[in-house]
Amino acid sequence: MKRIILCITLALTLFSFNFSAQGDEESRSKQQIALQHEIVVTATRLETPSKEIASSVTVITKEELEQTKKTTILEALQEIMGLTFVQSGSSGGAASVSLRGANSEHTLLMVDGVELNDPISPSRSFDFAHLSLENVDRIEILRGPQSTLYGSDAMGGVINVITKKGDGKPALSISGWGGTYNTLATLAEISGSTEKIHYAFGFSSFNNKGPSAANVTYEGNSERDSYKNLSLSARLGAKLSDGIEFNLILRGLNTKSDVDNFGGAYGDDPNNTQKNKSLLLKAELRSLWLKNRWEQILSFSLVSNDRRHENLPDTIHPFDSENGWFKSRFLKIDWQHNFYIHETNTLTFGLDHKREQGESEYISMGAWGPFTSIFPLQKAHTTGFYIQDQIRLFSRFFATLGIRLDSHSPFGRQATFRIAPAYFLEKTGTRLKATYGTAFKAPSLYQLYAPGTFWGPIGNEHLKPEKSSGWDIGFEQNFFGSKMLLGFTYFSNTFKDLIQFDFAQGYINLANAQSKGAELFMRVGILEGTNLNASFTQLKATDSDSGALLLRRPNNKFSATLNYTFLQKGNASLSLLHIGKREDIDYSIWPFPQVTLPAYTLVNAAVSFDLTKFFQVFIRFDNIFNEQYEMVKGYGTHGFSVFGGLKFSH
């Protein structure tokens, strides 16, 4: 009851500030700022106004992250339309994200254009559990097939985390906060620039002792699982001469997670841990030629991952143990050319070469005896050529056309393409848009080369790539002098030759699937300092052969965030997230029955206030109504939580 009163009080406070602001300052109506067209990079690999882009893209800005006091990439993504997220347990538990009903491995995650999907992961997916927000300037979420510009893994879409570029006088920010589950965290950032160089450095640490990863509502799950995260990041740039600039991006991560054996009753394990170390490095040279009409971007990137899993015998499991390590490395060279031929036409083409390698070893002991799985070092490489043309006519018609050809070392060539026209009616503030594209995903190293066992084969060197095609059509409409934006998109995707494991044959191209649905969003900024963002997603993702619903895809999703800036010193944010029913498997009961997870609704809030020019105090409330829910059958989630802290900026 207290939490209900707290939520209602906060909402009334927001609106009371809003009402009083209207009465006290009539001049505000003259100072209202229309909703601006954002600049998007990921959709075209060029800085492009959003009104010229037909692709479905959502941008999360640094200001929005600051208002809601989000701390991780996963938290920032939770409310995005068309996006499904799941996490096995609390902080540090394995987390995945999928777009428009595609599998999680069909989402390509990048930081500043560097691909992070892990080559040693069985399906070459990315674990979203550990990526923090230090030094992050914006996040762009691009939905729909995107292989034309990004190659493999982008069948469902792309998420690009763009870091901060230092600008102006040195700026320092230090934050510290704590709260529920013995949480203690710090964040420090410093950035700036001179005439010749720019720099931005970030550091974050996070420690907590959350609830049991296996849901505490089941018997035998009382141990609290801790999580530690240490992240470092840097972005440096130097102007070497007129028209030539060098950039260097670094990001390091070191985490330790307490995990449990499985979800459900008696899944607890007191000493089951996973450790992760990763390093991202990108070096980039930009140059302008022919009176700035020809831009070249030559980049080299390296991503290294080292994961460790250790589970020694204990009093609860005296005869069981696990020990494993998983190492991978990803290298990429990209040479991009942008030709600014005319104000009506920009031509982009490029060549990229990717090399990946991975190896692992896993040893376990249990009631059924010892088990050993050794994956020797394996490698694969891909070379791709892409070309794209951006057309702008009469400030009304915009179109992007692209094609790509990839050559993959095991399976050969694969071609993809994308068409994306948009038409803008300035008088009515209406934008019509449509896209059609194709994509593919190369088999992972594990799917290709995993050694067989006594029980049968696993890897299959004759696998074909997974393929997808998708289209969407929609509109966006401005109201009240562009102070309100309403958008609607209908989408449909088809997935073919999906790779699945068969106990008799190992990995084979077995399944086909399809997804379709609608996305609706609204952004309102009628009063200065007040804005409302809301979105709704309707989704149906099914197996094309059986008609069965795909697992862990909610049939609907609704989110809304109301934000208000008051007294020129404070900010209050109130958000609601509703996730509909979805199918899952209960792996704690043989023969693994299918279950329907009920819908759930979360209400969160954050309030911050500037005490002085340099100091800000803030507090954040998560799951205010203490909703009991599961994202993955058998695994726990956070209940009502409170976090508070202090921020210094100079």
pLDDT digits (tens, 9 = 90+) for 240-268: 999 999 999 999 999 999 999 999 999 99
- According to DSSP, the residues that pair with 460 across neighbouring strands are none
What mean pLDDT value characterizes the chain? 92
* Predicted pLDDT of residue 455: 82
| Beta strand 107-111 pairing with 157-163 | parallel
Specify the amino acid at residue 147: S
Backbone angles phi, psi at 28, to 5 degrees: -60, -35
Element (H, E) at 494: strand 484-502
Is pLDDT of 350 > 80? yes
Q: Are 108 and 42 in contact (CB under 8 A)?
A: no
Is pLDDT of 36 > 50? no
DSSP 293: T
For 475-487, write each residue's pLDDT tens digit: 999 998 888 999 9
Q: 590 pLDDT band (50/70/90 cuts)?
A: confident
CA 238 – CA 248 distance, rounded (Å)? 9
For the segment 378-407, the average pLDDT, to the nearest whole number, is 97
Backbone angles phi, psi at 526, to 5 degrees: -70, -40
For 224-237, write each residue's pLDDT tens digit: 999 999 999 999 99
For the segment 431-446, the average pLDDT, to the nearest whole number, is 97
Residue 215 in 3-state DSSP? coil
Residue 63 in 3-state DSSP? helix
Vertex 500: Cα angle to 497 and 501 (nearest 5): 145
- Between 38 and 596, the more confident residue is 596
Q: Which of 327-331, 449-453, 526-530 has the lowest mean pLDDT?
A: 526-530
CA 257 – CA 267 distance, rounded (Å)? 16
Q: 28 pLDDT band (50/70/90 cuts)?
A: very low
Is pLDDT of 14 > 60? no
* Predicted pLDDT of residue 400: 97
State which residues form the domain around 439. 2-409+418-649
* Predicted pLDDT of residue 37: 53
List the structure tokens of 120. 């040693």
Is pLDDT of 9 > 90? no
Vertex 232: Cα angle to 226 and 234 (nearest 5): 160
Backbone angles phi, psi at 443, to 5 degrees: -60, 145
For the segment 491-513, the average pLDDT, to the nearest whole number, is 95
* Predicted pLDDT of residue 165: 95
For the segment 611-635, the average pLDDT, to the nearest whole number, is 96
Q: 367 pLDDT band (50/70/90 cuts)?
A: confident
CA 261 – CA 227 distance, rounded (Å)? 16
Long-range contacts of range 157-160, CB-CB < 8 Å, 24 or more positions apart?
157/99, 157/100, 157/102, 157/106, 157/107, 157/108, 158/42, 158/107, 158/108, 158/110, 159/77, 159/97, 159/107, 159/108, 159/109, 159/110, 160/41, 160/42, 160/110, 160/111, 160/112, 160/113
Is pLDDT of 471 > 80? yes
For 399-435, write each residue's pLDDT tens digit: 999 999 999 998 889 999 999 999 999 899 999 999 9
Q: Which of 209-213, 429-433, 556-560, 639-643 has the lowest mean pLDDT?
A: 209-213
Q: Are 94 and 129 in contact (CB under 8 A)?
A: yes
- Between 383 and 588, the more confident residue is 383
Specify the amino acid at residue 214: A
Percent of the chain beyond pLDDT 70?
94
CB atoms within 10 A of CB 613: 9
For the segment 462-467, the average pLDDT, to the nearest whole number, is 96
Q: 346 pLDDT band (50/70/90 cuts)?
A: very high
User: The whole model's pTM is what?
Assistant: 0.93
* Predicted pLDDT of residue 453: 86
CATH of the domain at 80: 2.40.170.20
Q: Are 612 and 648 in contact (CB under 8 A)?
A: no
Is pLDDT of 99 > 80? yes
Query: How many domains are contained in the chain?
Result: 1
Residue 130 in 3-state DSSP? coil
* Predicted pLDDT of residue 529: 86
Backbone angles phi, psi at 31, to 5 degrees: -105, 5
338 burial (CB, 10 Å; 0-12 / 13-18 / 19+) is: buried
* Predicted pLDDT of residue 32: 36
